[in-house]
Amino acid sequence: MSLLSDQVYGKLSLPREGKTKQEAHKMNTTQWQQVEAQLPTGARITRTYTAFENGETRIIVKLPGAAHETRYVANLEGDSVRLEHRP
């Protein structure tokens, strides 16, 4: 089961082989699985975006029982992804 809500998943596009400059921030299926594995149990991804200021890939998550959403930054390191929590 995917942690992505149907609304977010429908808006995601997977990159083609040989990424262009505009596609450099997009993640492949394996990287999305790594993101989901690093999130707390029960977390639900509500949206993702690329920050205008610095090009970071940000993932907004709703944790179970939380009143507010929380933000993670996806650091792409080759084919792997490391999440950094940004309250």
- pLDDT by residue (tens digit) across 38-84? 999 999 999 999 999 898 999 999 999 999 999 999 998 888 999 99
Report yes or no: 58 and 74 within 8 Å, Cβ to Cβ.
Answer: yes
Query: Quick one: tokens of 85?
Result: 């929590």
Domain assignment of residue 1, yes or no: no
Domain assignment of residue 76, yes or no: yes
* Total tally of structural domains belonging to the chain: 1
The rounded distance, in Å, linking the Cα atoms of 48 and 61 is 9
Report yes or no: 71 and 63 within 8 Å, Cβ to Cβ.
Answer: no
Q: Which of 8-17, 24-33, 41-50, 78-87 has the lowest mean pLDDT?
A: 8-17
pLDDT at residue 36 in the model? 94
Query: Quick one: tokens of 66?
Result: 């939380």
Residues constituting the chain: 87
Domain assignment of residue 82, yes or no: yes
Domain assignment of residue 78, yes or no: yes
3-state secondary structure of 43: coil
**Domain ranges, residue 53:** 6-86
Domain assignment of residue 24, yes or no: yes
Domain assignment of residue 11, yes or no: yes
Assessment of whether the complete model's pTM goes beyond 0.85:
no
The rounded distance, in Å, linking the Cα atoms of 27 and 32 is 6
